[in-house]
Structure 1
Amino acid sequence: MEKLNGKSMDLVQMNIEALKQLFPEVVTEGKIDFEKLKLILGEEIETRNEKYEFTWHGKTQAMKLAQTPSTGTLRPDKASSKNWDTTENLYIEGDNLEVLKLLQKSYFGKIKMIYIDPPYNTGKDFVYKDDFRDNIKNYKEITQQTTKANTETNGRYHTDWLNMMYPRLKLARNLLTEDGVIFISIDDTEVANLRKICDEVFGEENFVSNIVWQKKYSPQNDAKYFSDMHDHILCYMKNKNNENKLNLLPRTEEQNSRYKNPDNDPRGPWKPSDFSVKTYSANYDYPIKTPSGRIVNPPAGRCWRTSKEKFEELVKDNRIWFGENGDNVPAIKRFLSEVKDGRVPVTWWTREEVGDNQLARNEIKSLFKDVVPFDTPKPTSLLKQMIIIGSNSNDIILDFFSGSATTAHAVMKLNAEDGGNRKFIMVQLPEPIDEKSEAYKAGYKNICDIGKERIRRAGEKIVQETGKTDLDIGFKVFKLDSSNVKTWDPDFDNLEQTLFDLQDNIKEGRTKEDLLYEILLKIGLPLTTPIEEIDYNGKTIYNVAYGSVLVCLEDDIDLDIVQEMMKYQSEHMPPKVIFKESGFISDAVKTNALQTLKKHGITDVRSV
Structure 2
Amino acid sequence: MGKEKVVNHHRDVPYRVLERVPEKGVLDSHGSDCRNMIIHGDNLEALKALLPEYEGKVDCIYIDPPYNTGEEKWIYNDNVNDPCIRKWLGQVVGKEGEDFSRHDKWLCMMYPRIQLLRRMLSPTGLIFISIDDNEQANLKSICDEIFCANNFQGCIHWRRRHNQPNDKTKLIGLVAEYILCYSKSKEALKQLMKSESYGKVEVTGKFSNPDNDPRGDWASKPWKAATGQGGTAYEIVAPDGTTFNEVWLGGRDTFENLLEDNRIYFPRSRGGKAGSPRKKYYKSERVDEGQCATNWWPNDVAGSNQNATDALASVFPEFDGKAFDNPKPVELLLRIIGMSTHRDSIVLDAFAGSGTTGEAVLAQNRSDAGGRSFILIEMGDYADDVTAERVRRVIHGYGESKSAVEVVDSGFSYYELGPSLFRGDGTLNPDVARAGLARYIWATETRAPYEDLTDEHSYLLGEHAQAVYYLAWEPGEETTLAYDLLRELPRRGAPTVIYADRCAIAPERLDEMNVVFKRIPDQIARI
User: For this structure pair, what is the TM-score category when the shorter chain's length is used for normalisation?
Assistant: 0.7 to 0.9
Q: Quote the offset at 1:458 in angstroms.
A: 1.8
- The answer to whether structure 1 residue 191 and structure 2 residue 136 are counterparts is yes
Matching residue of 1:376: 326
Matching residue of 1:240: 186
- The answer to whether structure 1 residue 591 and structure 2 residue 504 are counterparts is yes
**Cα pair 1:76 1:513 within 8 Å, conserved:** no
Amino acid at match of 1:347: N
Q: Quote the offset at 1:220 in angstroms.
A: 5.1
Distance 1:468 1:407, change over 3 A: closer
Amino acid at match of 2:110: M
Distance 1:298 1:564, change over 3 A: farther
Matching residue of 2:307: 359
Matching residue of 1:258: 207
- The answer to whether structure 1 residue 565 and structure 2 residue 511 are counterparts is no
Matching residue of 2:514: 601
Amino acid at match of 1:172: L
Matching residue of 1:391: 341
**Cα pair 1:76 1:514 within 8 Å, conserved:** no
- Partners of 1:308 and 1:397 lie apart in 2 by 50
Once the two structures are superposed, the pairs formed by residues 6-405 of structure 1 within 5 Å of their partners are 57-68=1-12, 70-83=14-27, 86-123=33-70, 124-133=72-81, 149=94, 151-154=96-99, 156-219=101-164, 221-222=166-167, 224-225=169-170, 226-241=172-187, 242-243=190-191, 245=193, 247-252=199-204, 255=205, 257-262=206-211, 264-278=212-226, 284-292=232-240, 294=241, 296-299=243-246, 303-322=247-266, 329-341=276-288, 342-371=290-319, 372-405=322-355
Distance 1:542 1:305, change over 3 A: closer
Q: Quote the offset at 1:117 in angstroms.
A: 0.7
- Partners of 1:119 and 1:351 lie apart in 2 by 21
Give SS of 1:339's match.
Answer: helix
Distance 1:337 1:488, change over 3 A: closer
Matching residue of 1:38: none
Matching residue of 1:456: 392
Distance 1:396 1:229, change over 3 A: same
Distance 1:129 1:285, change over 3 A: same
**Cα pair 1:397 1:425 within 8 Å, conserved:** yes
Q: Quote the offset at 1:168 in angstroms.
A: 1.5
Q: Quote the offset at 1:205 in angstroms.
A: 2.6
Amino acid at match of 1:195: K
Give SS of 1:306's match.
Answer: coil
Distance 1:116 1:390, change over 3 A: same
Q: Tell me, which stretches of 5 or more residues in structure 1 are unaligned?
A: 1-56, 433-445, 490-501, 582-586
Q: Quote the offset at 1:540 in angstroms.
A: 6.6
Give SS of 2:126's match.
Answer: strand
Give SS of 2:76's match.
Answer: coil
Q: Quote the offset at 1:465 in angstroms.
A: 4.8
- Partners of 2:153 and 2:167 lie apart in 1 by 35
- Partners of 2:203 and 2:18 lie apart in 1 by 42
Distance 1:298 1:406, change over 3 A: same
Matching residue of 1:15: none
- The answer to whether structure 1 residue 507 and structure 2 residue 424 are counterparts is no
State the superposition RMSD in angstroms.
3.7
Amino acid at match of 1:316: E
1:364-405 Cα offsets, whole Å, 9 max, x none, are: 222222333421110111111111222222222221111222
Give SS of 1:345's match.
Answer: coil
- Partners of 1:387 and 1:281 lie apart in 2 by 36
- The answer to whether structure 1 residue 534 and structure 2 residue 455 are counterparts is yes
Give the number of equivalent residue pairs: 490
- Partners of 1:219 and 1:269 lie apart in 2 by 35
Give SS of 1:287's match.
Answer: strand
- Partners of 1:323 and 1:210 lie apart in 2 by 38
- Partners of 1:290 and 1:512 lie apart in 2 by 81
Q: Quote the offset at 1:118 in angstroms.
A: 0.7
- Percent identity reads 30
Give SS of 2:191's match.
Answer: coil
Distance 1:272 1:562, change over 3 A: same
Distance 1:251 1:74, change over 3 A: same
Q: Quote the offset at 1:152 in angstroms.
A: 3.6
- Partners of 1:320 and 1:458 lie apart in 2 by 49
**Cα pair 1:415 1:421 within 8 Å, conserved:** yes
- Partners of 2:490 and 2:245 lie apart in 1 by 81
Give SS of 1:532's match.
Answer: coil
- Partners of 1:517 and 1:274 lie apart in 2 by 61
**Cα pair 1:530 1:545 within 8 Å, conserved:** no
Matching residue of 1:421: 371
Distance 1:357 1:283, change over 3 A: closer
Q: Quote the offset at 1:71 in angstroms.
A: 4.5
Give SS of 1:481's match.
Answer: strand
Distance 1:307 1:525, change over 3 A: closer
**Cα pair 2:316 2:323 within 8 Å, conserved:** no
Distance 1:461 1:480, change over 3 A: same
- Partners of 1:239 and 1:358 lie apart in 2 by 35
Give SS of 1:103's match.
Answer: helix
- Partners of 2:3 and 2:309 lie apart in 1 by 37
**Cα pair 2:203 2:286 within 8 Å, conserved:** no
**Cα pair 1:270 1:334 within 8 Å, conserved:** yes
Amino acid at match of 2:10: A
Q: Quote the offset at 1:277 in angstroms.
A: 1.6
Q: 1:480 aligns with which of 406, 417, 438?
A: 417
**Cα pair 1:117 1:401 within 8 Å, conserved:** yes
**Cα pair 1:543 1:551 within 8 Å, conserved:** no
Matching residue of 2:469: 549
**Cα pair 2:161 2:299 within 8 Å, conserved:** yes
- Partners of 1:428 and 1:110 lie apart in 2 by 20
Q: Quote the offset at 1:122 in angstroms.
A: 1.8
**Cα pair 1:92 1:479 within 8 Å, conserved:** yes
Greater Cα radius of gyration, structure 1 or 2 = 1
- Partners of 2:394 and 2:509 lie apart in 1 by 52
Amino acid at match of 1:239: S
Q: Quote the offset at 1:533 in angstroms.
A: 3.3
Distance 1:280 1:89, change over 3 A: closer
1:425-445 Cα offsets, whole Å, 9 max, x none, are: 22222x34xxxxxxxxxxxxx
Give SS of 1:417's match.
Answer: helix
**Cα pair 2:242 2:274 within 8 Å, conserved:** no
Amino acid at match of 2:117: A
